[in-house]
Structure 1
Amino acid sequence: MPSLQQIKMLYKSQSVRSMGMYTFSNFFSKAVSFLLLFVFTNPAYISPSENGMLSLFSNSMLFLMPFLAMGIVHSVSAEYFKLDDREFRSLFSTSLIMPLVVMAGSIIFLFLVRGKLYESYGFPTSFVWLIPVVTFLIFINEQLLSMARNNLQPQLYLKANMGKTILELGLSFILVVYFAWRWEGRVAGILAAYGILGLYALYYFKQKGYLFGKIQKKYIRSELIYAIPIMALQASIFTMNSSDKFFLSHATNDNNATVGVYSIACIFASIINVLSMALLQHIFPSIYRVLSGEHINYKFIRRQFVVYISVLTIGLISLIAVMPVIYDYFINEKYHEALEYSYLLCIGVYLWALSYFFYSFLLYYKEKRKLLFLSLICIAISLACNYYFINRWQAMGAAASSVSIYALVLVIALAFTRKYWKPLWTKS
C-alpha cells in the first residue's frame, strides 16, 4: 500500500520527527496550563482582579523584553550559520552584556516610578525587581531554545521546555492551593522555574564553548545598530499583542477584574500563537539554510508555507469549535462573558501568525529600514485602534481592535515583503 509506505517514511523522517518534538513541547506547556485554568480561575484561589494583575505583570515583561533582548536572539541565530567558532564565541559573549545592563537600569527606573505604577495599575513594590529579573531569565531561556534549534537538538528543546513547565506550574499549584499564596504563589513558580532553567542554560552555553569569548566593540556596535529596528519590531508586537490590557485597565474601574476576564480569553487565543511558534521554530532555521545557499530552492519554501497555513487553519477552526465546551466545563462562570468576543481574538492571532511568516524574510536579510518603518506603522495602528475601540466598548472593543489591527498588519506586511514572497509562486 503506497499510502502506508508514505506514512512510514514520514514517521522515519528526521525533519518530521523534529517538527513533532517542537510542536509537542510547546503544546505540552499550553496543555498543562489549561488543565490548571480551573484552579487559577477559581475565585477561592485567585480572583479575577488578581488574574488581571498577573496579566499586567506578564505583559509588563513583554513590554520590557524588546529593550532588554534588543533582537539579540534573532541576530545570534542568523550569525550562527555565518561565523566560525571563535568569532561566534565573541559575538555570543558580547551579546550577554547588554541585557544585563538594561536589567540593572530597569530596576532603577521602576524603583523611581513605583508610586505611579501602584496608583495607576496596583503594582506592588516587589514588581520593581521581579519584572526586570524575570524578563532577563526569559531572554536566557529563549537563547537556550534558539541554540538548541540551531544545533538540531529537538530532544534538548523538548526536555528544557517540558521541565520548565512542570516546575513552574507544579510549584505554582502547590503554593496557590496548599499554601494559599494566591497570586504571589503564581509569580513565585514563574521565578523559580526560569531561575533554574537559566542556570542550566549557562551550563549549556559553557559546554558548547559559547561563553568567555572576547568582548568586542564591533559586536556591541553591530548589535545596537541591528537592535534599533528589532526593538521597534518587538515594541510593535507588544503594542499589538499586549497594550490592550493596559488600555482596558485604564478604561475600567473594577480593580482589574475586566482585565482578568479578558486575559483568560486571550490565553485561549494564544493557542494559535503556540501552534505558530512551534511550526516556525522548525521552519525558520530550514528557510534560513535555504536562503543562505548558492541557489535558493523556492519550491521548498513554498511547500513550507503551504504546510504552515494549512495547519494553522485547521487549528483555528478546531479551537473556535471547542472553546464553548471548555468554558462550560472548566472555567468559572465569572469568566463566561468573554465567550462573546473570544472568537475575534482567535481570528486576530491567526492573522498575526500569517504576517509573522513574511516578517522572517526581513529578519534574515536584515532589512533594517523596512523593519523600522513597518514597526512604527504597526505601533501607530495599534495605539489608534485600541484607544478608539476600548474607550467605547471596553472588552468587546479590545477584541474588535485586535482583529482590526492584525488584518491591517497582514496587508501591510505583504506589501513590504512582496519582492521576497512573489518568487515563491513564480520560480521553482
Structure 2
Amino acid sequence: MIKMLNIKFIKSLSIFTLANVINAAIPFLLLPVLTYYLSPADFGIISMFQVLLTILLPFAGYNSESSVIRYYYEKDKYNYSSFISNALYLILIGALVLVPVFFFFHEEIIRLLFGAEAPKVSEKWLWVMLIIAVSQNIFQVQQNLLQVQYRAVEYGIYRILKTALELGLSVILIVYVNNTWVSRMEGQFIPALLFMVISLFLLYKNKLLNMKFDWKCMRANLAYGFPLLPHVLSGV
C-alpha cells in the first residue's frame, strides 16, 4: 500500500512539475512578437502593469487561495464547501477594500507607476488589473484544490490552456488589431475572466460552493493568509 502511494505521489509530482515547466516556457514564445511590434515604451508599460498585478494579488483575497491547501487536511473541523465559499468571499472583500484606494488615488498611482508614460494610461486600466487579480485568485483556488487532490492531469490542462489562450490572443490582437500595450493587456484580461467562470462552474459542479457566510471559516482563512502578506510582498 505504501509503495503504491509513493508511486502515485511521484507520478503526480512529475506531472505537476512538467505542467509548471511548460507553463513557464510558453511566454518565451511571445517575446519575438513583442519585440517586433511593440516599442520600448510599450514594454515598460506592460512591465509596470505586471508589477501592479503582483502587488494586487495578495491584497485581493489576503492569500485565502493558499489556505485551501492548508485546511484541506482538516476537513473534519470545517464544512469544506463553506470554507471554499468564504475563501471566495474574502477575495471579493479584499478587492472591495481596494476600490476606494483606486477611486480617490488613481491619478497618483498612475503617475507613480508609469512616470512620463502616465498620459497614455487611463484610470480604467487600474480597474481592469483589479478584476484580473480577483479572477486569477479564484482560478488559483480551483488550481490549489486540484493540486491537493492529486488531480495532476486536470491541473496541467487548465493551467497550460489558460496561458496558451492568453498568449495566443495577445499575439492576434497585437499583430492584427492594435500593435500597442493595450492589446497585450486585453489578451490577459479576457482569458482571466473566462477561466474564473470555468473555475466557479467546476467548484459548483463538485458541490464546493454553498455560499454560506461562516465566521469560523472566514477567521481560519484570515489567520492563515493574512500573516503571509509581508512574505509575499517581499518578492515584488
TM-score, normalized by the shorter chain, greater than 0.5: yes
Task: Name the aligned partner's letter for residue 24 of structure 2.
Answer: K
Greater alpha carbon shift after TM alignment, 170-179 vs 30-39: 30-39
Amino acid at match of 1:59: V
Q: Per-residue deviation at 1:15?
A: 3.1
Amino acid at match of 2:186: A
1:19 to 13, 16, 19: 13
Q: Give the letter for the 2:142 counterpart.
A: L
SS at match of 2:207: coil
Shift of 1:85: 9.1
Aligned to 1:158: 156
Q: Which residue pairs with 2:125 in the alignment?
A: 127
Find the counterpart in structure 1 of residue 134 from structure 2: 136
Deviation, 1:86, is: 6.3
Aligned length: 226
1:38 partnered with 2:36: no
1:117 and 2:112 are equivalent in the alignment = no
**2:174–2:183: 8 Å Cα contact kept in structure 1?**
yes
CA deviation vs aligned residue, 1:63-92 (integer Å, no higher than 9, x gap): 122222312122221111111396111111
Matched, 1:95 2:114: no
Deviation larger for 83-92 or 49-58: 83-92
Alignment of 1:47-66 (within 5 A): 47-66=39-58
Q: Which runs of 5+ in 2 are unaligned?
A: 1-5
Paired amino acid for 2:151: Q
Partners of 1:51 and 1:17 in 2: how far apart?
39
Residues 3-402 of structure 1: matches in 2 within 5 Å? 13-42=7-36, 45-84=37-76, 87-120=79-112, 121=114, 122=118, 123-238=121-236
- 1:125-173 CA-partner distances (Å, limit 9, x unpaired): 2222112110011101211110001111111111101110121011100
Any idea what SS the aligned residue of 1:209 has?
coil
Cα distance in structure 2, aligned partners of 1:83 and 1:138: 24
Q: CA deviation at 1:41?
A: 1.7
The secondary structure found in structure 2 opposite 1:215 is coil
Shift of 1:29: 2.2
Distance in 1 (CA, whole Å) between partners of 2:222 and 2:28 is: 38
Say whether the 8 Å CA contact 2:61–2:93 is kept in structure 1. no
Offset from partner CA, 1:202-245 (integer Å, 9 cap, x none): 0111122210153111222333333331122222232xxxxxxx
Following superposition, the deviation at residue 19 of structure 1 comes to 2.3
Q: Secondary structure at the match of 1:187?
A: helix
CA gap of 1:82–1:225, structure 2 versus 1, over 3 A, is: closer
* SS of equivalent to 2:234: helix
How far apart are the structure 1 equivalents of 2:228 and 2:80?
20
Kept in 1, the 8 Å contact 2:143–2:155? The answer is yes
**Does the 8 A contact of 1:141 with 1:197 survive in 2?**
yes
The answer to which structure, 1 or 2, has the higher relative contact order (CA under 8 A, 6+ apart) is 2
Does structure 1 retain, via aligned residues, the 8 Å contact 2:16–2:156? yes
Counterpart AA for 2:128: L
Judge conservation of contact 1:137–1:195 (CA < 8 Å) in 2: yes
Structure 1 unaligned regions, length at least 5: 1-11, 239-428
Query: Conserved in 2, the CA contact under 8 Å of 1:21 and 1:154?
Result: yes
Taking structure 1 as the reference length, the TM-score comes to: 0.50
- Could you report, residue by residue, the CA deviation over 1:270-309 in whole angstroms, capped at 9, with x for unpaired residues? xxxxxxxxxxxxxxxxxxxxxxxxxxxxxxxxxxxxxxxx
Residue-by-residue CA offset, 1:323-359 (whole Å, 9 max, x unaligned): xxxxxxxxxxxxxxxxxxxxxxxxxxxxxxxxxxxxx
1:83–1:130 distance in 2 versus 1, CA, 3 Å: same
